[in-house]
Structure 1
Amino acid sequence: MTHMDKMPPPKGPGFERVLQQIPVAAILPVKQLPITVPKSQKYAQIAASIREAGLIEPLVVARAPGQDGTFILLDGHVRLHVLKEMAADVVTCLVATDDESFTYNKRISRLATIQEHKMILRAIERGVPEARIAAALNVDVALIRRKRTLLNGICPEVTELLKAKHCPVNSFRSLRKMKPLRQIQAAELMIAANNYTVAYTEAILAATDAADLVDPASKKEPVGVTREQAERMKAEMASLQKNIKLIEGTLGPDHLRLVVAGRYVERLFTNDRLVRYLEKHHGEILGELRQIVAGLNQPGPSSEGLGEAEE
């Protein structure tokens, strides 16, 4: 048997290509919502956004084995609860086909700032007044107006980079003052540092050359920072940008090797004799290996936004 014969067949797509309209009654939740959830402000916001703008993010379901026409709900328990209260008959769903789809909730990205911006635009296009959206989401109408114009002056590449990130609205204000190429560099710095705060974006803006600003004449020296400190900040930012590019070149292969090694160690843990031996003679090493495996199986960070973000 050749090496190619031993290769497993390639996996197909994790989801069916076409969204399905599925009867609400045919969807089975996999968990019971706590009784406090329907009374929470977050639930009220989700319900209001569905009433005003419709279902922005489809439910994620999987076909129930051996039960034709029945689906298991993987993501969207709060949305489904709201739809049932609204007496909805059918709902738009994304149907998962991957065998590991039950871990979907570990990998999804909640409604981010840019996604929320698109939700608001969609509601406005449907004729919903800004004041009504603000009342539904329990925020000031001025915030809705700022979110409506969130991407004005932001280049498409930055929109793509930050589309799943939870950036404060005012962070985009600093980005808007930069030229497109510098906007992209700033977004990459934010992602590398996992820091999207207003203070961090203002620091990047302060370290930006006047030539990279939309209005060079508007550049101001940072309050409480000397010219020497500002120049050192620029140099450090440039060095960090260079290091990011170097790391990007090795991140993919390094992560692949880590995953392969981690899965191999995970398989070794199924050998009881080996685990007992390690516990007896190399307990410290065993603990480190277990931490590595646990890290590979841990869900990524997520945070909740407005609209339909939940669970």
Structure 2
Amino acid sequence: MPLRELPSAVRKSVKYKQIAASIAEVGIIEPPVVFRDRNDPARYHLLEGHVRLAILLEQGETEVVCLIALEDEAFTYNRRVSRIAIIQEHRMILNAVNKGVSEERLARALNVNIGNIRAKRNLLTGICPEAVDLLRDKHVPMNVFTELRRMKPMRQIAAAEMMVAMNRYSTGYVKSIVAATAEEDLVEQKRKVVRGLTEAQIELMSRESAQLDRDFKLIEQSYGADHLDLVLATGYLGGLLRSAPIVRYLAQHHPQLLAEFQKITELQQAA
């Protein structure tokens, strides 16, 4: 028994067609998750896998292996899953090819053209290992790696560090890093003309990028010690707030401080 009805828009989506193609080619990889009805042991509620179930029904299937949950979760299993990053997908494709799976079959299973498979297979060509390691679990657009290839290895590492520090992985952001890169740090020794930017603006971006690199290195040097100090201070505050007399005193004489201390400890607990 599905917990929700699948909207018609989902059935028309590219993702739906990709999953349908994958099931037709290699079968079910992730079994649907069900929970036994509390009143009727012969009935099961579908917690996760509504799209897969709809596709199987369309294909005329009458049985599927499922995972049986021990608790009726309020949220679906999908929300617990970290979706695969593009570098991880690249490695999976390489592993499949090395095991003898043809590019054509992979393309059919993922419902994409073979050019897409080849692009992902060659994703990290020209990217230095240190930059790959920094971005290995990040959701980075494929075109970002095209831009990274235009820079020399040390600049690739600096660009990856800036992306992680700023939590920005868009192609536009990396293009701006390339535009601000000195020519000696570019593979072709020639900066690409960027629409809407003058030479003076690009030069200014280069200086600001160099300053950002220096600032980043300075922060990186003290980050470990600063983080340790923060953890120790937060732990000390947590210990104070577990004392009822101290909490009463702060509530009576320093309510604003108490509120801020509570926010700090709550943030640490959430992290």
Q: Please say whether Structure 1 and Structure 2 have the same fold, judged by a TM-score greater than 0.5.
A: yes
The structure with more helix, counted as a fraction of residues: 2
Please give the alpha-carbon distance, in whole angstroms, between the structure 2 residues aligned to 1:170 and 1:276: 57
Asked if 1 retains the 8 angstrom alpha-carbon contact of 2:124 and 2:132, the reply is yes
Structure 1 position 129, deviation (Å): 3.3
1:251 aligns with 2:231: no
Give 1:169 shift. 0.9
Deviation at 1:151, TM superposition (A): 0.1
Give the CA RMSD over aligned residues.
3.6
Q: Tell me whether 1:209 sits opposite 2:176 in the alignment.
A: no
Whole-angstrom distance in 2 between the partners of 1:133 and 1:127? 11
Quote the offset at 1:142 in angstroms: 3.2
Which deviates the most, 287-296 or 253-262?
287-296
| Matched-pair contact (CA < 8 Å) for 2:22–2:111 | no
Runs of 5+ in structure 1 lacking a partner? Answer: 1-33, 57-76, 89-107, 300-311
> 1:216 is paired with a residue of what secondary structure?
coil
Q: Could you report, residue by residue, the CA deviation over 1:272-302 in whole angstroms, capped at 9, with x for unpaired residues?
A: 2322332333222222112212222224xxx
| Deviation for aligned residue 1:167 | 1.2
Q: In the aligned structure 1, how far is the partner of 2:113 from the partner of 2:255?
A: 56
In 2, distance between residues paired with 1:205 and 1:119?
A: 29
Q: Is the 8 A contact 2:152 2:185 kept in 1?
A: yes
1:183 to 122, 134, 156: 156
Q: Flag structure 2 segments of 5+ consecutive residues without an equivalent.
A: 31-46, 53-63, 68-80
Is 1:112 matched with 2:54?
Answer: no
State whether residues 52 and 133 of structure 1, in contact with CA within 8 Å, keep that contact through their aligned partners in structure 2: no
Tell which structure's C-alpha radius of gyration is larger. Answer: 2
* Distance across 1 between alignment mates of 2:91 and 2:28: 13
Query: Cα distance 1:54–1:162, how it changes in 2: closer, same or farther (>3 A)?
Result: farther
- 2:144 equivalent in structure 1: 171
Q: Which residue of the partner structure matches residue 128 of structure 1?
A: 101
Q: Higher relative CO (CA 8 A, sep ≥ 6), structure 1 or 2? A: 1
Q: In the alignment, what sits opposite 1:282?
A: 254
Aligned residue in 2 for 1:262 = 234
SS of 1:158's partner is helix
2:124 is equivalent to residue 142 of structure 1: no
Normalising by structure 2, report the TM-score: 0.69
CA distance change for structure 1 residues 136 and 264 in 2, over 3 Å: closer, same or farther? farther
Paired with 1:149 and 1:224, the residues of 2 have a C-alpha distance of: 32
Once the two structures are superposed, residues 236-269 of structure 1 have per-residue CA deviations (whole angstroms, 9 ceiling, x without a partner) of 0000000000000111011011111112212222
CA distance in structure 1 between the aligned counterparts of 2:130 and 2:6, rounded to whole angstroms:
38
- Identity over the aligned pairs, expressed in percent? 43
Q: Which whole-Å CA distance do the structure 2 matches of 1:257 and 1:289 have between them?
A: 16
Query: Is the Cα–Cα contact under 8 Å of residues 110 and 164 in structure 1 kept in the other structure?
Result: no
TM normalised by structure 1 equals 0.61
